[in-house]
């Protein structure tokens, strides 16, 4: 099997408990775009989705690519680990990317939820990965005039009172500890494991995270869908769920200071710029860079990378291959691909997602 130097990534829609995905339908070329329960596109994913009632779909979440009539990306990783991933990465993570990358397109506000830290996952979930997340906002639906997220408690509740509110599904009391944190396109922020949060309605974004689907949700109904009991607290109880939560008080100002990311310029020359978004300043779990391309930008790399075009158009080159690139196209560049370049005479922006450093 020949491994290309550039692999174009097709859509990989995944079922979720909340509705959305209308804009993803547009990107997929559907004649009639609508919101449904496939609001996410998992990009070069080696992570299996955890959906109660869909356990028979053993490959849900795993990406397939246009190689050998639709091979799973995990099959390519296992077949050619040195070319695809590099020896150091494969030795640490096996035939896995080491992170999970998504497009997320919300119609409604998501459930109030929380994810485990690495320490919590190691102790209680038999996993070396928790679920720290990074968000990069791309666009907002026209009808949403004040886009927002909930991020951390601004007025932390008492443990017993909050437990009672969850058990009784008292939504007013469940939401009372939160204030809406305004967001706009171009904002990037980190959501560490343990921080309760929810993405607001009408947000289209890139989400990168540790390679798990761990979540506890303390609202049992959103958008008319009632969560099965096993999907609420990961098959455990409310005390297990709340033991995951960070009850620290974070003012909106502290949220901006601590969790919103200030890009750090790594390169600037001939009109092109590389800004580091997610790096060891905020997490060791994944890396993301924002590239502004004018004419030619050479990408120096020490790992594989995933490229998402955010605006404009141009070309992407690696080895002897050149592919056309337009807005929201996605590409996997294997570790073994040399001389990676982004080309655009009219200007192009992209995100480059990379695994943890090894």
Q: What is the pLDDT of residue 51?
A: 83
pLDDT of residue 50: 85
**Given the DSSP bridges, would you call strands 188-191 and 221-222 parallel, antiparallel or unpaired?**
unpaired
Give residue 17's pLDDT. Answer: 95
**Calpha distance 342→316 (Å, rounded):** 5
Tens-digit pLDDT profile for residues 283-340: 999 999 999 999 999 998 999 999 999 999 999 999 989 999 999 999 999 999 999 9
Which domains, and CATH codes, for the chain?
7-259 (2.60.120.10), 264-354 (2.60.120.10)
Structure-token pair, residue 73: 């990306």
What pLDDT, on the 0 to 100 scale, is given for residue 330?
A: 98
Bridge partners (DSSP) of residue 225 are 222
In the prediction, which pLDDT does 57 show? Answer: 81
pLDDT at 68: 77
Query: 215-237: b or e for each residue (b if 16 or more CB lie within 10 Å)?
Result: bbbbbbebbeeebeeebbbbeee
Return the number of other C-beta atoms located less than 10 Å from residue 15's C-beta: 16
pLDDT of residue 97: 96
Residue 285 gets the label, from left (phi > 0), alpha (psi -120 to 50) or beta, of alpha
Residues 6+ positions from 22 with CB-CB distance below 8 Å: 33, 34, 35, 105, 107
Segments in the chain below pLDDT 70: none
């Amino acid at each position: 099997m020949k491994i290309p130097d550039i692999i174009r990534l097709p859509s990989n829609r995944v079922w979720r408990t909340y509705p959305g995905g209308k804009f993803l339908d547009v990107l997929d070329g559907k004649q009639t775009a609508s919101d449904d329960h496939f609001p996410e596109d998992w990009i070069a994913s080696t992570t299996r989705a955890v959906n109660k009632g869909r356990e028979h779909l053993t490959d849900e979440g795993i990406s397939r690519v246009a190689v050998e009539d639709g091979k799973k990306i995990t099959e390519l990783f296992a077949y050619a680990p040195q070319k695809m991933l590099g020896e150091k990465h494969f030795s640490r993570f096996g035939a896995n990317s080491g992170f999970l990358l998504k497009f997320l397109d919300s119609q409604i506000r998501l459930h109030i939820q929380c994810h485990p830290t690495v320490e919590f996952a190691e102790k209680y979930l038999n996993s070396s990965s928790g679920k720290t997340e990074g968000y990069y906002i791309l666009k907002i639906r026209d009808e949403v005039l004040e886009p927002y997220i909930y991020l951390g408690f601004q007025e932390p509740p008492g443990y017993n009172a909050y437990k009672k509110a969850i058990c009784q599904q008292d939504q007013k009391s469940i939401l009372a500890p939160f204030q809406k944190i305004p967001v706009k396109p171009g904002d990037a922020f980190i959501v560490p494991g343990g921080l309760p949060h929810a993405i607001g309605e009408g947000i289209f974004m890139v989400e990168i995270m540790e390679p798990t689907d761990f979540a506890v949700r303390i609202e049992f109904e959103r958008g008319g869908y009632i969560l099965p009991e096993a999907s609420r607290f990961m098959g455990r109880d409310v005390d297990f769920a709340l033991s995951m939560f960070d009850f620290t008080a974070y003012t909106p100002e502290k949220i901006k200071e601590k969790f919103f990311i200030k890009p750090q310029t790594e390169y600037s020359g001939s009109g092109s710029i590389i800004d580091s978004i997610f790096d060891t300043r905020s997490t060791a779990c994944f890396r993301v860079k924002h590239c502004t391309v004018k004419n030619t930008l050479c990408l120096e790399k020490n790992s594989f990378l995933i490229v998402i075009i955010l605006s404009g158009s141009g070309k992407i080159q690696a080895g002897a291959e050149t592919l056309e690139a337009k807005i929201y196209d996605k590409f996997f560049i294997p570790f073994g691909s040399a001389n990676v370049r982004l080309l655009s005479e009219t200007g192009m922006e992209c995100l480059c997602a990379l695994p943890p450093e090894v």
